[in-house]
Structure 1
Amino acid sequence: MVVALIEDARKTFSELYYICLVTFALAILIFAIFIFVEKLRFIKCVNFLVALIIVELQIISTFALVVLSWWADFLTFFAVALILVVLFLIIGVFLPAKMDLTLDIAILFIMAFIFLIIASFVLLFQLLVARTVPYAYLVVEIAVTLTILLFVMYHGQTINGNRFAEMRLNDFFLASLILFHDFLIIFWLTFYWQTNYRPITPDSWIETSTTNSTYSNSSDDKYRNLYGNSDWGKRY
């Protein structure tokens, strides 16, 4: 949030975006180690420290996206993503025993695979057929978001227990990190709307909030124009 408000921070992270790519790669690497090296998750203090490092690295990684947005859009979509995760987490926990997602995991993966097929195909239209923009991206985002929300319900059931598959009580750091990344995926996908359409922040506010052309709302803005400086999109 602070990064979205401080002009110098916005400029720094927009120019040094590769730092966020490095922190993202490190976060994923450490997270993978944390998942597969089981002993690491049960060493007191070390498990907390590793989990904290992963979270902080992912937060820094998100700065590269945050600087392209504005605080009103950022907070709005942050709240939407958080509400969705919490809502589906509660739904998953309170589903009746006969709707045990941990028992019917095959169905869950089949549905996720179907959504993946939809997202993969429609994404090509988003990238290659300008006339489908932004509706193609909306389909992709909905497909991916629904997939993640299905797994949020699944994770909620494994964490809460009393199901066919349960997560151990002392594995709460892993559970927290999984839900954190579920939230991040949904939230990251909203930056397309935040940076290209700004549904919450009015143009008049941007025009009076900064004199830096890097964050202007002009159609040739290299940070906000979907097609950069090329005229590819004009062919249609």
Structure 2
Amino acid sequence: MSKFLDSFAKYFYENFLSNSRKTCIVFPGRRSGLYFKHYLSAYTDKPMWSPAIFTINELVEKMSGKEANDNISLVLELYKVFRDKTGTAESFDDFLFWGEMLLGDFDDLDKYLVDAKQLFTNLANIKEIDIKFGLTDGIDTEALESFWSSLGKGESQHQKNFLELWTNLHDIYLAFKDVLSAKNMAYQGMLLREVAEDKMLIEKSESAFEKYLFVGFNALSKAEKEI
């Protein structure tokens, strides 16, 4: 990686230095940006304008005007929405395991600009078939029983509650995002989707720079490609 960044620093110095003030470089992480600055400084002993350097997450936050919140705060908000939509009364501790999974799924869903309604409808149908025919090998049944313990015992009750969870996912997803927006909160995928689907945010940000250089990325999500 260091050799690559050194080569890129030389390339930038030879091709973009004259307009570095209007250039934005986007790296996967902050460390790459720090190493790039170090290598770039080695090519000249004269003062120069440094290009703007962001990680992809920092760039999205700049474009959206929001910052992604920490996971605990987000899962707590998700817990409130979940209880409201399902009518369950389990504790936050019981919900935490599933809440982190749901948050991760919502994050991936938005990063790849997936049609949420279609996805959750299909998943609910698949889970209904799995439960009906006993195809639950991939489910952590012990965690599932703990999660639904406050709602009564019995296999059929657990199955019913689990199916209700899947059928309610789309409503939970939409309500969760509405709550976050109202509180000026967000998770990273949510910000990516907002920027990718709102060209005005991108155009407004583009006015600050004439050139964007994305460096060192192995793969980009669909939302990142749109940006």
TM-score tier by shorter-chain length is: under 0.3
Structure ranking higher on relative contact order (CA contacts 8 Å, 6+ apart): 2
Structure that is richer in strand per residue: 2
* Structure number with bigger Rg: 2
Which one has the bigger helix percentage?
1
